[in-house]
Chain A
Amino acid sequence: SQQGEEDPQALSIQEGENATMNCSYKTSINNLQWYRQNSGRGLVHLILIRSNEREKHSGRLRVTLDTSKKSSSLLITASRAADTASYFCATVNSGANNLFFGTGTRLTVIP
């Protein structure tokens, strides 16, 4: 399988705290993306980081990428109850145009 793996599998924090999720993958990538899924619904694209980028920001989201370690992290700052969802990383491998998803991190933000 070419899937990545997210860590932790589940994370529970208080509203206002920061949440950090990690993703590890196996092959060389063209880019890495993070998606969010509210319970049982379709995934929504959050942010994309290319292989030659190290950090990217979008609102309260910060993504880092370390290609030497084949890992990425997603930081959500000042979390809100509405951030409760599952978060998935997805990689587009070098030389390919296909996405492979990880197994996801279930984030619960307690009001």
Chain B
Amino acid sequence: EAQVTQNPRYLITVTGKKLTVTCSQNMNHEYMSWYRQDPGLGLRQIYYSMNVEVTDKGDVPEGYKVSRKEKRNFPLILESPSPNQTSLYFCASSPRDRGLVVLTFGAGSRLTVL
């Protein structure tokens, strides 16, 4: 089944404890992206990647890192999480057919930072 898989789905952690949210897609998509969703603010893009070894900042990159060493994986790293990073996180991917980006989303990762 074609899908985007995020792990963990739920996580409670403490301030300053490094964590990684993994994202993997099995559709050979070039484009991958991370979003965070907060009440009243919609989805805001954190980082995106057009292809392997190519990453760019989105609207809210502060406090996050990403890497794209393989086409299928796009992990989101929080080096020193803070309570304002408590949020619902989504990974998404897309082929880049004729320049179009149409996203397939993962199920989401709900992160709480105490």
Residue of B nearest to A44 (CB): B105
Interface size class of A (residues with CB under 8 A): 20 to 34
**A92 and B101 contacting across the interface, CB-CB below 8 Å:** yes
Interface string of A94-110 (1 = CB under 8 A from B): 00011111111000000
* Chain A residues with CB under 8 A of B102: 33, 45, 48
| A47 → B minimal CB distance (Å) | 10
For A35, list chain B residues within 8 Å (CB): 103
Instruction: Name which residue of chain B comes closest to A97, CB basis.
Output: B101
Contact partners of B40 in chain A: CB under 8 A: 103
- In the assembled complex, the CB of A48 is this many whole angstroms from the nearest CB of chain B, namely 6
- CB of A78, distance to nearest CB on chain B (Å): 26
Contacts from A to B (Cβ < 8 Å): 1-3, 30-31, 33, 35, 40-45, 48, 88, 90, 92, 97-104
